[in-house]
């Protein structure tokens, strides 16, 4: 079974368990409108307070390199579960919203990254145009923990087509029968820059906003980070996957990992939270 087949089973189960009539047209937007900017502030009155408190605590860690390490590309937080209450609250706000408004199935959090982007003279790694090359059914939400008001502040940027929608790279990892590395490690800098320079309707969008601004994107949406110039940008990145069986909690150390494990998901889509308990 590949990821898209498993995802369809998850949608069927979700509609049955929740007495929801499936809307195929909405479901198809999952693949054709892969970048969404949801207003999480409007979903819960607790969201802003949670973000402000997490922002302050994480900033202190990064400033002092407490529980952090750097590879000169980003400063990575290595002890995210010290903020388990914040993670729980953000997951309880974000994930049900994604279930009802993007996936139409049950989800669990398989990855969380907390990091600070670094100044950089020459773009490399995630600072060049790329896609993540996991199955399309894996989705990330970047939440800013600092204000990102202009290009100095390292805005998240994604490649857009002639309809101003995000564009998907060609995933070479779709399930057990098709699982191999992408050409050029899924880096597509030259292709994107050439398309944008032709002035034929292709372009890009940058995401700006105060602390708590978020961007939810299919992990294969072509995107990049931008280098910090004279500021800092702190981020929490929450990644979700479909699950046939709803998890007892969205995020848990039993099945949610960070930088300590590879970001490549398991080839088998059924290898979900239940196999990790």
Q: Is 176 exposed, middle or buried (0-12, 13-18, 19+ CB in 10 A)?
A: middle
* 268 located within any domain: no
Is position 272 within any domain? no
Per-residue pLDDT tens for 36-78?
999 999 999 999 999 999 999 999 999 999 999 988 788 999 9
Q: Which CATH number do you get for residue 33?
A: 2.60.120.620
Residues spanned by the domain of 146: 3-18+29-252
The count of domains in the chain is 1
- Is residue 276, in this structure, part of any structural domain at all? no
Is residue 65 domain-resident? yes
pLDDT of the residue at 232: 86
Mark out the alpha helices in the chain (DSSP H runs). Answer: 3-17, 24-32, 46-64, 84-98, 189-197
The model carries a pTM of 0.95
For 69-122, how does the pLDDT look when each residue is reduced to its tens digit (9 = 90+)? Answer: 988 788 999 999 999 999 999 999 999 999 999 999 999 999 999 999 877 777
| C-beta of residue 190 within 8 angstroms of C-beta of residue 16 | no
Sequence-ordered list of residues with C-beta below 8 angstroms from that of 129, at least 6 positions apart, any chain = 159, 187, 188, 189, 191, 192, 193, 222, 223, 224
Q: Is residue 271 part of a domain?
A: no
Q: How far apart are CA 216 and CA 139, in angstroms?
A: 7
Is 257 among the domain residues? no
pLDDT tens digits along 205-259: 999 999 999 999 999 999 998 877 777 899 999 999 999 999 999 999 999 999 9
- Backbone phi, psi, residue 74, to 5°: -155, 160
Average pLDDT, the chain: 93
Across-strand partners of 114? 236
Beta carbons of 97 and 43 less than 8 angstroms apart = yes
**What is the per-residue pLDDT across 176-218, written as a single tens digit (0 to 9) for each?**
999 999 999 999 989 999 988 998 899 999 999 999 999 999 9
C-alpha radius of gyration, the chain, whole number: 18
Query: Per the domain annotation, does 274 fall within a domain?
Result: no
Among candidate residues 70, 68, 48, the one with its CA nearest the CA of residue 58: 68
Q: What distance, in Å, lies between the first and last C-alpha atoms of the chain?
A: 22
Decide: helix, strand or coil at residue 220.
Answer: coil
Let me know if 196 is exposed, middle or buried by CB neighbors in 10 A (0-12, 13-18, 19+).
Answer: middle
Task: Name 193's Cβ contacts closer than 8 Å, sequence gap at least 6.
Answer: 129
Domain assignment present for 267: no
Q: What does the pLDDT read at residue 150?
A: 85
- Identify the band that residue 124 occupies on the pLDDT scale cut at 50, 70 and 90: low
């Amino acid at each position: 079974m590949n990821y898209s087949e498993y995802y369809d089973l998850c949608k069927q189960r979700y509609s049955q368990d929740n007495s929801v009539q499936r809307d195929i047209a909405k479901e198809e937007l999952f693949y054709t409108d892969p970048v969404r900017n949801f207003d999480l502030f409007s979903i819960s009155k607790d969201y802003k307070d949670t973000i402000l408190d997490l922002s302050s605590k994480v900033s202190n860690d990064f400033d002092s390199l407490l529980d952090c390490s750097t590879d000169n590309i980003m400063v990575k937080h290595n002890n995210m579960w010290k903020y388990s209450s914040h993670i729980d609250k953000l997951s309880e706000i974000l994930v049900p919203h994604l279930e009802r408004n993007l996936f139409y199935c049950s989800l669990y959090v398989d990855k969380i990254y907390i990091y600070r982007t670094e100044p950089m003279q020459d773009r490399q790694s995630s600072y060049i145009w790329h896609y993540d090359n996991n199955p399309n059914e894996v989705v990330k939400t970047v939440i800013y923990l600092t204000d990102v008001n202009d290009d100095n502040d390292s805005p998240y940027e994604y490649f857009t087509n002639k309809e101003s929608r995000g564009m998907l790279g060609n995933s070479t990892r779709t399930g057990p029968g098709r699982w191999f590395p992408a050409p050029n490690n899924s880096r597509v800098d030259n292709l994107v820059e050439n398309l944008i320079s032709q002035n034929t309707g292709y372009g890009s969008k940058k995401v700006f906003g105060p602390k708590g601004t978020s961007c939810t994107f299919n992990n294969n949406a072509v995107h990049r980070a931008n280098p910090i110039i004279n500021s800092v940008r702190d981020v929490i990145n929450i990644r979700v996957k479909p699950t046939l069986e709803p998890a007892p909690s969205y995020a848990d150390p039993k099945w949610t990992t960070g930088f300590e494990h590879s970001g490549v998901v398991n080839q088998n889509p059924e290898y979900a939270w239940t196999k990790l308990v």
